[in-house]
Amino acid sequence: MEQKKQNPTAENETLIVSRRIQRVSLHLAPVPRPLHEHDTQEQLGLFPCARSLKLEVETEKLSLYMRGKYREIQEKIYEYFHARPELQTPLGISKDDHRELCWRQMYGLIKEAGIRPLKYVVEDPGKYFAIVEAAGAVDISLGIKLGVQYSLWGGSVINLGTKKHKDKYFGGIDSLEYPGCFAMTELHHGSNVQGLQTVATFDPITDEFIINTPSDGAIKWWIGNAAVHGKFASVFAKLMLPAHDAKGVSDMGVHAFIVPIRDLKTHQVLPGIEIHDCGHKVGLNGVDNGALRFTSVRIPRDNLLNRFGDVSRDGKYTSSLPTINKRFAATLGELVGGRVALASSSTSILKIANAIAIRYSLLRQQFGPPKQPEVSILDYQSQQHKLMPMLASTYAFHFATSYLVEIYSQMKTTHVEQLVGDVHTLSAGLKAYVTSYTAKSLSVCREACGGHGYAAVNRFGILRNDHDIFQTFEGDNTVLLQQVAADLLKQYKQKFQGGTLAVTWNYLRESMNTYLSQPNPVTARWEGTEHLRDPKFQLDAFRYRTSRLLQSAAVRLRKHSKTLGGFGAWNRCLNHLLTLAESHIESVILAKFIEAVEKCPDASTRAALKLVCDLYALNQIWNDIGTYRNVDYVAPNKAKAIHKLTDYLSFQVRNIAKELVDAFDLPNHVTRAPIAMQSEAYAQYTQYVGF
């Protein structure tokens, strides 16, 4: 029988496929290199160079440096819930049961654990935010419910009211006798607070304000604590005074009013008030969001929170601030604490997700060299690229939000006008940037844990759903970033007019001319490790990018304003402006991280933080390397060196990853770490999946 001729094309394809399979196999199971006489068997690991240079990190010292003076009160909260498993939120809890459990959690924290947050809202905001962070680590719904009661409802009374309001309401709010809510958002108006339609008309005959919801669009919507537990509401409405003109009333702008919504004894809804339940949500179902409609609800004149504007018995309006816009700005300026809290809480949630994903990745083993044990999945470069820059960002956010809390606390005690503006813009930017990053990272962490990450017991789904709304409430992130961009443009204008710049923006005055000059062709080619790890190079690169974006945005806005007008020009350049705002916030984050590294008193802890800081900085530069290459700020070989060093730093951070996440000091019942991590979590997991 004649032998068939072999098809040369098929033979070539077979060889090509064979070679590709062989190459993939070598990636998954690299051939060990020959041993030299100075080698040891231990050096045959996947990344021997990285392992041999592992830093020594004392977790306790690192944790103490990070958590500082508020560690004790957070431990008290963790210990309280650990000792009361009946107050820990079970999987699959119904909406109604979750709401009641969340109330019992808050009630227990106040009444049994003796945590009284309200006084810290003004006296020590850092301690208040630490309380909310710890409570949110137990259940994010609890952290939000605490925030509604003490920061929003309580904070509005303290910050927008005067002594008479504090004397009357402080004790009841603090003890939970007066549970309340914060009624600002309406069905048709969220971000545009000046456009609110609810009205409060003064009646000089009875010395009362009459609260009315004039249309369906004016119904107060998404109001936390309203559906079930709230008995009072801080209602934001347009203050209308009688006038002797064709309109018959004068609009004095948006003010806040204390409005009782339920009877203190019977808990029945009061006359003229309709309360509707907003129902089941994507997350945060422990918080009872509701809708409020007011029909001729009368409240005493004294219920006007009158710090920035008051009405006398005869209906005359007085204020220390001359215009509606200034009063509005002052009112909202006192409420930025909510944004500060969200930036801090979002960072806390990112810590939890990091701890779960990285601990899992350290212990989970898959594949390995032939006839050798399987290796940790965190030894794979792809897993390191997912998680190590994220861990570095988490540390960066920690120090940036700690700085924000610090200057917010200074603002509350000093009321320095320049500091007020700085806090307002920085809180907007950090809240937007951090919450957006965390939202994306939660999905990455879930994916990094494979199928086990999809189990509800491992918290990723719960964290992702509960955190998602952080991007929207206390200011939509896109709107907040525009506020940052607007302030940058204002500072840019003042820079050329010789005006005073806010503290965080000083670099615009100090170095803008340097940043906007042509890149130095020599330094653009420096690619040594010492240079790339120099904080000055890193921060200069961040600020250079921000300054170029700022200058080009100003030029584009000026050009388009001539044909499109101010609003049209802003809309035409909107994506550019959002990128500018994010770039500036990244510069602030890096600056505060570098400061934290330099201030660290312990040498080994400082070395570990420096490593993490370098990874954060160089990874950010690499992620936007196109921008730096387009203007020759970084030469091609330098770009390659940055990429190579970023990989190396990821390997190094991987080797101390356990110590870095342990320094978050999160108890087991908070992280609920995945299978094979701890006996308690394993028992929960196997029970949940029915093993």
Active site residues: 474
Is-contact 507 565, C-beta < 8 A? no
**173/354 Cα distance (integer angstroms):** 35
- Which amino acid, residue 412? K
Q: Where are the alpha helices (DSSP H) in 29-70?
A: 48-52, 59-67
Partners of residue 239 on adjacent β-strands: 200
Which residues are paired to 251 by β-bridges? Answer: 240
Q: How far apart are CA 226 and CA 228, in angstroms?
A: 6
- State which amino acid sits at residue 103: W
Phi, psi of 297 (to 5 degrees): -85, 120
| DSSP 8-state code for residue 86 | G
Q: Which residues pair with 202 in a beta bridge?
A: 209
Q: Burial level of 18, CB count in 10 A (0-12/13-18/19+)?
A: exposed
Hey, which bits of 130-268 come out as E strands? 180-183, 199-203, 208-212, 220-223, 232-242, 249-260
The Cα 102–Cα 548 span in angstroms is 48
The CA distance from 608 to 395, in Å, is: 11
What gap in Å lies between CA 146 and CA 376, rounded to an integer?
Answer: 40
Q: Could you give the angle at the alpha carbon of 533 between the alpha carbons of 660 and 504, nearest 5°?
A: 80
The candidate with the shortest Cα–Cα distance to 162, out of 304, 326, 316, 313, is 304
> How many whole angstroms separate alpha carbon 622 and alpha carbon 640?
9
Give the separation between CA 434 and CA 282, rounded to whole angstroms.
Answer: 20
**In this structure, what token pair is assigned to residue 346?**
């979002």
Number of other CB atoms surrounding residue 31 within 10 Å:
9
Do 320 and 309 contact (CB within 8 A), yes or no? Answer: no
C-alpha to C-alpha distance for 594 and 475, rounded to whole angstroms: 29
Determine contact, residues 457/685, Cβ cutoff 8 Å: yes
What CA–CA distance (Å, rounded) separates 543 from 548? 9
Residue 169: strand, helix, or coil: helix
Q: Answer yes or no: are the C-beta atoms of 426 and 620 closer than 8 Å.
A: no
